[in-house]
């Protein structure tokens, strides 16, 4: 069992707080992703769990044992980072084997364990090569194999795909997902890439300035973002967020009027996703000149100014309109998300 519990976990440097009273339970075998913009405290949280950074306050429990103060090597975790730090003079086989030697695993077990890890990341044909003779993706797979070979209870991965090109990132991402499923290891994965988070995670934790904003499954976070920060961070494109006034169930703002919205009268932020709205010939809730049109291949994205923002709508792939030409957009009340204007928190 490798449940991880963070209790009031805090990191301060002088008067600056990098991570603020984080409370989180990561279930045994769960794949948890820490997501957020640069500087939000993801890496610091991970480094405290790993034992590379001392917590200023709070507790870290792994498998029911408080590990604050324990050396990284005594925490039964394996780490994979964006810089893979392979030993340049050792070949792939020796690189993968290295953790077993350090941990004094009986030599008789080495070969089988190295080969099994190498097979899992499809490296068996490269075992004789040195890191300098490998591509970036292959090197990252060596780093993965080196983590796997230890058979730890916990994997910590910090942006392991960020040095790979777009295509390799997708295939290595699939491999990580498959491995975590097969190995049944509790995994904490740090990224600032929301697509990576949504595709890999059992649950996503979204952080901003050291504070957790929302914890939930990818679907929960996509369908019910807790605030405008989460709404604007998740999804591609991110949720459209318009500011305006709600009066008697009618939302109105620049170029927009939507009836049937439940919420208290006053200043609000109204959100909707590009794919939930549609371009209509007449009777739209948003009426505005076309700002841009982008062809994506499978769809055409149309952007207009409404509610103080640039709002994007997904149209049919063969839809065409000139920049500046008026466009009407239907935004059904049922697909709208409502947030308070002052704090940006979800209403209802």
Q: Which residues bind ligand ATP (CB under 6 A)?
A: 13, 16, 18, 36, 38-44, 192
CB closer to ligand ATP out of 43 and 95: 43
Q: How far is the CB of 188 from ligand ATP (least distance, A)?
A: 12
For the purposes of burial, counting CB atoms within 10 Å of the CB of 36, is it exposed (0-12), middle (13-18) or buried (19 or more)?
buried
The residue (of 40 and 50) whose beta carbon lies closer to ligand ATP is: 40
Nearest-approach distance from CB 235 to ligand ATP, in angstroms: 19
Least Cα distance to 305 among 289, 325, 326 occurs for 289
Least separation in angstroms between residue 16's CB and ligand ATP is: 6
Cα(101)–Cα(193) distance, integer angstroms: 35
Within 8 A by CB and 6+ apart from 113, the residues are: 100, 105, 149, 151
Nearer CB in complex with ligand ATP: 13/166? 13
338, 268 contact by CB (below 8 A): yes
Of 40 and 303, nearer to ligand ATP (C-beta) is: 40
| Long-range CB contacts for residues 295-302, cutoff 8 Å, separation at least 24 | 301/237, 301/274, 302/327, 302/329
Q: Cβ closer to ligand ATP: 81 or 93? A: 81
Name the residue number minimizing CB distance to ligand ATP.
43
Orientation angle between helical segments 136-148 and 107-120, nearest 10 degrees: 140
Find how far residue 16's CA is from the centre of its chain: 25
Q: Toward ligand ATP, which CB reaches closer, 39 or 308?
A: 39
User: Residues near 191 by Cβ (< 8 Å), separated by ≥ 6?
Assistant: 33, 34, 35, 42, 159, 161, 162, 197
When the beta carbons of 12 and 130 are compared against ligand ATP, the nearer one is 12
The CA distance from 34 to 246, in Å, is 35
Residue 234 burial class via C-beta count within 10 angstroms: exposed 0-12, middle 13-18, buried 19 and up:
buried
CB of 192 to ligand ATP, least distance (A): 5
Q: How far is the CB of 209 from ligand ATP (least distance, A)?
A: 8
The residue (of 38 and 236) whose beta carbon lies closer to ligand ATP is 38
Minimum CB separation from ligand ATP for residue 152, in Å? 22
Residues near 49 by beta carbon (within 8 Å), at least 6 away in sequence: 4, 6, 60, 62, 77, 154, 156, 188
**Distance in Å, CB of 264 to ligand ATP, minimum:** 35
For 131, phi then psi, to 5°, come to: -50, -40
Quote the strand ranges of 50-148, DSSP E. 57-62, 65-66, 77-81
Residue 13 CB, nearest distance to ligand ATP (Å)?
4
Q: Which of 16/348 has CB closer to ligand ATP? A: 16
- CB nearer to ligand ATP: give 194 or 330: 194
Nearest approach, Cβ of residue 17 and ligand ATP (Å) = 8
Q: Which residues pair with 27 in a beta bridge?
A: none
In eight-state DSSP terms, residue 132 is: G
Closest CA to 211 of 15, 3, 10: 10
CB of 278 to ligand ATP, least distance (A): 36
Beta carbons of 127 and 93 less than 8 angstroms apart = yes
């Amino acid at each position: 069992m490798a449940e991880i519990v963070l209790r009031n976990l805090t990191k301060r440097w002088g008067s600056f707080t990098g991570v603020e009273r984080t409370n989180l339970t990561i279930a045994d075998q769960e794949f948890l992703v820490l997501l957020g913009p640069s500087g939000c405290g993801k890496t610091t949280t991970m480094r405290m769990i790993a034992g590379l950074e001392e917590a200023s306050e709070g507790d870290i429990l792994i498998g029911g044992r408080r590990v604050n103060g324990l050396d990284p090597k005594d925490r039964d975790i394996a780490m994979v980072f964006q810089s893979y730090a392979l030993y340049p003079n050792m070949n792939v086989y020796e690189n993968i084997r290295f953790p077993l030697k350090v941990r004094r695993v009986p030599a008789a077990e080495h070969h089988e364990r190295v080969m099994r890890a190498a097979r899992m990341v499809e490296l068996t044909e490269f075992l004789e090569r040195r890191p300098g003779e490998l591509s970036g993706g292959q090197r990252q797979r060596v780093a993965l194999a080196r983590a796997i070979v230890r058979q730890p209870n916990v994997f910590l991965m910090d942006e392991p795909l960020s040095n790979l090109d777009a295509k390799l990132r997708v295939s290595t991402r699939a491999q990580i997902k498959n491995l975590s499923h097969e190995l049944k290891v509790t995994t904490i994965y740090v990224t600032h890439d929301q697509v990576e988070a949504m595709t890999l995670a059992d649950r996503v934790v979204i952080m901003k300035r050291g504070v957790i904003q929302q914890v939930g499954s990818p679907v929960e976070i996509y369908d019910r973002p807790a605030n405008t920060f989460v709404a604007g961070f998740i999804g591609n494109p991110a949720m459209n967020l318009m500011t305006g006034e709600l009066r008697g169930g009618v939302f109105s703002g620049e170029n927009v009027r939507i009836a049937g919205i439940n919420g208290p009268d006053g200043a609000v932020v109204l959100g909707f996703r590009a794919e939930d709205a549609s371009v209509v010939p007449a009777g739209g809730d948003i009426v505005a000149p076309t700002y841009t049109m982008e062809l994506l291949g499978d769809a055409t994205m149309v952007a207009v100014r409404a509610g103080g923002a640039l709002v994007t709508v997904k149209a049919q792939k063969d839809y065409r309109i000139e920049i500046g030409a008026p466009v009407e957009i239907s935004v059904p009340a049922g697909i709208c998300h409502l947030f308070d204007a002052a704090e940006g928190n979800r209403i209802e």
